[in-house]
Amino acid sequence: MDRLTQLSLLVHIADCGSLRGAAAALQISHAAANRNLQALESRLQTRLLDRTGRRISLTGMGLEFSERARAILSDIDLAEEATHALSVQPRGRLRVSATHSFSTRHIAPLLREYAKQCPEVVVHIEVDNGYTDLIDKNIDVAIRTRDIEPNSSITMRRLAETDRVLAATPRYLARHGTPGSVADLLQHRILTYTHSSSPGELHFTRAGQVETVAPKNLLKASDSQILRTAALGHMGIVVQPTYVLYDELAAGRLVPVLQEWSLSPLAINLAFPSRKYRSGKVRGFVDCITAHFERMQYERRWNRFSADPSHGV
């Protein structure tokens, strides 16, 4: 039997959680999928799946082998793309990882332009507000708000920088008062992003002066859009990158506070496995989003915020 089909089958089982789903993804019958799985287990002389009634799960050996199989299949895709790069359009699947906010505001609107450049590429957006392991999850490109990756095989390319802002609705500030100092934040309800570098503290600077405060958090969330919605619901003061709140700030639905103080800015970087940059689909995406950010001048807008709605994103 075809060994590549067997490897693909195991990877799809890991992704789908079922043999039937994996068979459908490979467009083969359930019986054929079962025969391929049995042949693979027979050749390896080990059990790859645990079967309990209609439910199946990968054994420890099956999980380890599926990750190795995923890497092998990825290398084959890269080899084929490298061979055809000079003569044909990029093709295959592009897996992009980014937060919910960034995916919605800056990747989804770009997909039409990317599709024109790479019409044979299927884009798969992995919405993840944490830091997914690019190698383990076979991610082609990720948007990161950190400067260093623990894996030395990951290349980082700077995309933009954004200020962080504290903001609340006019109604909240009218009811609870506008903080006039960093210490005043201790009397307010704070809406905090759990994946920030120090979610329990806020570190401010002003003309060489440094102040740190650990305010009471009314709400913690791993998704910026939850915090944005809560802030618009007059629940408290939200702490977020400017790009997440830009439209609300420009329209006056949210009002920035303590503007004379600064929080450390966030670097927005593109991260990708170094070997994958040889792929036309990855280079095309990196070039497309970089050109788009330069054309739209996002960094200038985010770091020199004006309440003028004509500056909207």
DSSP one-letter code for 107: I
Q: Average model confidence (pLDDT) for the chain?
A: 88
pLDDT at site 253: 97
pLDDT at 313 over 60: no
Which whole number is the average pLDDT over 252-278? 89
Residue spans of the domains in the chain: they are 3-83, 92-159+267-302, 162-265
Sheet holding 154-162, edge to edge: 120-127, 91-98, 141-144, 266-273, 154-162
Weakest mean pLDDT among 12-21, 238-247, 303-312: 303-312
pLDDT at 5 over 80: yes
Residue 312: which pLDDT band, with cuts at 50, 70 and 90? very low
pLDDT at site 1: 59
| CATH code linked to domain 3-83 | 1.10.10.10
Q: Quick one: 92-159+267-302 is in which CATH superfamily?
A: Periplasmic binding protein-like II (3.40.190.10)
284-297 tens-digit pLDDT:
999 999 999 999 98
Q: What percent of the chain has pLDDT above 70?
A: 92
225-236 tens-digit pLDDT:
999 999 999 999
CA distances from 151 to 78, 87, 134, 231, 273 (A): 20, 33, 9, 36, 9
pLDDT at 306 over 50: no
Which whole number is the average pLDDT over 32-36? 90
Residue with the bigger pLDDT between 115 and 300: it is 115
pLDDT at site 84: 61
Q: Residue 104, CB half-sphere, CA atoms under 13 Å: how many?
A: 11
pLDDT at site 309: 39
Q: What does the longest C-alpha to C-alpha distance in the chain come to?
A: 72
Burial 99-110 (b: 16+ CB within 10 A, else e): bbbbbebbbeeb
Q: How far apart are the first and last CA of the chain?
A: 54
Q: Does the 162-265 domain belong in CATH 3.40.190.290?
A: yes
313 vs 310: CA distance, rounded Å: 9
pLDDT at site 83: 66
pLDDT at site 231: 98
Q: Quick one: how far is CA 18 from the chain centroid?
A: 26
178-223 tens-digit pLDDT:
999 999 999 999 999 998 877 789 999 999 899 999 998 899 999 9
The reply to whether 92-159+267-302 shares the fold of 3-83 is: no
